[in-house]
Chain A
Amino acid sequence: QQQVKQSPQSLIVQKGGISIINCAYENTAFDYFPWYQQFPGKGPALLIAIRPDVSEKKEGRFTISFNKSAKQFSLHIMDSQPGDSATYFCAASRDRGSTLGRLYFGRGTQLTVWP
């Protein structure tokens, strides 16, 4: 059973546009929601993360929106640039229990930003 569902699988955006990637989860015990960015031939790198006590977190052009009641969170990339072209993964984990720290990943979104 997939713990975190991510959409879309691929996304094409024009330079300067807004890229939006969505994720949904079922387990209400999750309390940490990171986004990872991966460039071709490289390992994933932490981009931004949020905890459920806030509804939004912004770092530069990247914003996470979190809807606890809907069990959804999304990544918004404002003023998208060709250098943002990469694969993005959402993930979720929880602090307690036998799966302490186990990070459940979405299947990824391949973002292409056209110049």
Chain B
Amino acid sequence: NAGVTQTPKFRVLKTGQSMTLLCAQDMNHEYMYWYRQDPGMGLRLIHYSVGEGTTAKGEVPDGYNVSRLKKQNFLLGLESAAPSQTSVYFCASSHRAHSRIFGPGTRLTVL
């Protein structure tokens, strides 16, 4: 089992560019999540999904969109990147509502 994988690991964007972060899990988990981690701010929930075809907003959803077309994949999109979106992004999944298995992260820099 690979667990939770994230693609890419690193990315540098210019302001206004768009990109998609891919998260994949092979544990047949129902729940999937996208977090961002900034120094001194902990982990903040961007969007989450409780099942295939469903998505919901977390605490910092502005500037991001998500899609869950397949149970094993959860995509995070940035339509027009801003420097404030420079962060480390973590995807996570869980079988039940509580426990999370986190991916290794994607380090994104927006210039």
Q: Is the interface of A mostly helix, strand, loop or mixed?
A: loop
Cα-based distance from A45 to B90 in the complex (angstroms) = 12
Q: Is the pair B98, A34 in contact by a Cβ cutoff of 8 Å?
A: yes
Total A-B pairs in contact (CB under 8 Å)? Answer: 57
Q: Is the pair B102, A44 in contact by a Cβ cutoff of 8 Å?
A: yes
Of A32, A36, A105, A106, most buried by chain B (CB within 10 Å of CB) is: A105
Interface range on chain B (Cβ under 8 Å from partner):
20 to 34
Of B48, B50, B97, most buried by chain A (CB within 10 Å of CB) is: B97
Residues of chain B within 8 A of A106, CB atoms compared: 42
Q: Is the pair A102, B45 in contact by a Cβ cutoff of 8 Å?
A: yes
Q: Whose C-beta in chain A lies nearest to the C-beta of B31?
A: A101
Cα-based distance from A102 to B46 in the complex (angstroms) = 12
A interface list, Cβ under 8 A from B: 6, 9, 32, 34, 36, 41-46, 49, 89, 93, 95, 100-103, 105-108
